[in-house]
Amino acid sequence: MASFKPIQRKTLPRLKGDPTPDDQYWRNFDFPVTVKEYGPVQSVCFSRTKPHLFAVTTSAKVQVFNPRLLDTIKTFSRFKEAAYGAEFRSDGKLLAVGGEEGFVRIFDVATKSMLREFKNHKAPVHCTRFTTDNSHVISFGDDRSARYFDIPSQTQLRTFKDHGDYVRSGDVSLSSHSIFVSGSYDHKARVFDLRTNETVQEFNHGAPIESVLMTTSGNIVLTAGGTTIKVWDIVAGGSCLTSFSSHHKTITDLCFASGYSRLLSSSIDRHVKIYDMASYTVVHSMDFATPVLSIGVSPDDETLCVGMTDGVISIRKRKEPVDEEAMEQKAIEKKKWGKYLLKEKYYTPDESAIRVKEEEREFLKQHDKYLKKFQFTKALDRVLKYHVWSSMPDVTVTMMQELDRRSGLLPALAGRAPEDLVDILGFMCRYVTDARYANVVMGVAQLFWELYPFVYGKSAELDALIDRFQEILGLEIETQKELRGLLGVMDVLVSASEFSSAEVQADIIESNTASVLTALTPVPAVAV
């Protein structure tokens, strides 16, 4: 006896392609842990040494989190006003913090004691950076200056006042302790050399600069301002290598990830974009509930921290790798007959053993069981349940097509009470304008009105759905009329462009022919 063949779901083209390796990599995080603070999260900074603690500045305090515990382990609150721009030293032992007061403070991470305090700035300091020799710190302030401090002697060694507006960002070269870059609201980024005490190069970004970065080689500078990120080559005389924009609102922060092979940008458009540093193309995007002010990724890519304008700190930890085979074996061992199943699983038969193929049992879904028994009404009712057609409309449409092929759609729709028509009308209202299912739904709608022409007035819920269906059809008809009018206008424009192109082409041919004939006309002989 032949087995029953269940209905095959209608396959539709995918709106998106298969996930790329970057998509899979950046989606492999656990559900985020959120911490709510009172003020905007101004900056996020990770320590380069394990366990990669990260500092978050918000309101008048700096919080240090442990990425393993995903909780605060230290809080620095010796600020009268807002704290900005916390930065770990490369060994993770010291923490530099700016602030609204204009002071630059150096803290011992282990003891929380304040070791140094520099009061040279006359305006808020939004960014601080340790140099690679770990003995100096550079600060960038709203007094239009960048200042170079010596930590052991607690003295200011250099002052750079080349900018004409607030200096809100900066970075140091990892390949040289004497090179650093600053970004300002005067639209310019400047590269300074501490050995000459002068500006080495200057880049005009074209918008107030919110964040700057230098690559590990120190040859490339990235600036972010407005909705654009620009890449500058220091070796090539400060030429702009490329400019790209994937945000539609101001970019607020930049950071590197995956060993400097990926670039992350945050924006007040509530998105975080991830770029490939080789091609500067977007490889992944993340969405958040509120505008994003700051972002940071641990050096091992295990922790992602995002700070937002409403004071929410979102922390995501990468999922632990799962040994599926070990989990399966453990689940089997828990069962009473598990040891026998494991023995069979790892049993190796000899050459004389005869293998008998086990017949696979066919499991039919409920609507297929009804269809197998020729119970067309029950089969249609099953796929017209809200939880089915709202999440799997292709199953409902495929069943309708199969019933129509068997001449069972009309009997399945007929003989229904008014309350049984609600699911059918709900499905038609939802998918009558969907191009993927419109043909099938319109055929069902035609049968529906043939069977129930006088159903209006039998139920308030049914009347509301009928009115809604008529409204949707009216809007769709108006849209189709407008599209046809637009298509006519486009045809006229295309015809006019083709006609004008033909005229121009004819003129060109005519002029070329005339010039050729002139060239071929023999020159009359001149009598001597």
pLDDT in tens for each of the 528 residues of the chain? 456 677 777 666 665 567 888 999 999 999 999 999 988 999 999 999 989 999 999 999 999 999 988 889 999 988 999 999 999 999 999 999 999 999 999 999 999 999 999 999 999 999 999 999 999 999 999 999 999 999 999 999 999 999 999 999 999 999 888 999 999 999 999 999 998 888 999 999 999 999 999 999 889 999 999 999 999 999 888 899 999 999 999 999 999 999 999 999 999 999 999 999 999 999 999 999 999 999 999 999 999 999 999 999 999 999 887 666 666 666 655 555 555 555 555 667 777 777 777 666 677 888 888 888 888 888 888 988 888 888 888 888 888 888 888 888 888 888 888 888 888 888 888 888 888 888 888 988 888 888 888 888 888 888 888 889 889 888 988 988 888 888 888 888 888 777 665 565 566 556 555 554 454 444 444 333
DSSP calls for 239-297: EEEEEE---SS-EEEEEEETTTTEEEEEETTSEEEEEETTT--EEEEEE-SS-EEEEEE
Find out whether 496 and 456 touch, Cβ atoms under 8 Å: no
Is the residue at 494 inside a domain?
Answer: no
Is the residue at 118 inside a domain?
Answer: yes
Q: Are residues 313 and 377 in the same domain?
A: no
Q: Are residues 275 and 136 in the same domain?
A: yes
Residue recorded with tokens 């790329």: 20
Is the residue at 501 inside a domain?
Answer: no
Q: Are residues 187 and 246 in the same domain?
A: yes
Is the residue at 16 inside a domain?
Answer: no
d(CA 70, CA 53): 10
Q: Are residues 308 and 434 in the same domain?
A: no
Q: Are residues 50 and 180 in the same domain?
A: yes
d(CA 307, CA 289): 11
Q: Where are the alpha helices (DSSP H) in 346-392?
A: 366-372, 376-383, 386-389
d(CA 476, CA 445): 15
Q: Are residues 267 and 398 in the same domain?
A: no
Find out whether 53 and 284 touch, Cβ atoms under 8 Å: no
What letter represents residue 241's amino acid?
L
Quote the domain boundaries for residue 205: 21-317
Is the residue at 412 inside a domain?
Answer: yes
Q: Which CATH number covers residue 67?
A: 2.130.10.10
Q: Are residues 370 and 308 in the same domain?
A: no
Provide the token pair at 11.
């396959």
Is the residue at 444 inside a domain?
Answer: yes
Question: Per the structure, how many domains does the chain have?
Answer: 2
Q: Are residues 184 and 261 in the same domain?
A: yes
Is the residue at 153 inside a domain?
Answer: yes
